[in-house]
Amino acid sequence: MADITDIKSILYTEKSLGLQEAGVIVVQTVPKMTKNGLKEVFKEFFGIKPLKINSLRVNGKVKRFKGIPGKRCDTKKFYVTLPEDAKIESLAV
């Protein structure tokens, strides 16, 4: 079962802020999260039933940390379309 702690962050980039005006929120989560799990989280914690959810898997970049090769964590991005009348006040910018 999905939990609110599986959501890493809400993305606030130039593109995501433009999408927020259209009622779409961009959420970054752990890779194991599913669309149904995210839908449950939104229903349970925010009281909103999303209209549509699109997912995107983001592989971590290979980088060097103090000269030692390493890899950033893999994540998953979800584009959550909310109903027109729905607002999440804690996410307002």
pLDDT at 92 over 60: no
Q: How far apart are CA 45 and CA 27, in angstroms?
A: 14
Helix (H, G, I), strand (E, B) or coil at 86: coil
Architecture of domain 4-84: 2-Layer Sandwich (3.30)
* Helix, strand counts (H, E) of the chain: 2, 6
Total Cβ atoms within 10 A of residue 14:
6
pTM: 0.84
Alpha-helical (H) ranges within 1-93 are 14-21, 35-41
Confidence at 89, pLDDT banded by 50, 70, 90: low
Model pLDDT for residues 52-85, shown as the tens digit of each residue: 999 999 999 999 989 999 999 999 999 999 998 7
Model pLDDT for residues 8-47, shown as the tens digit of each residue: 999 999 999 999 888 899 999 999 999 999 999 999 988 8
Report the sign of the C-alpha dihedral through residues 9, 19, 89, 80, in that order.
negative
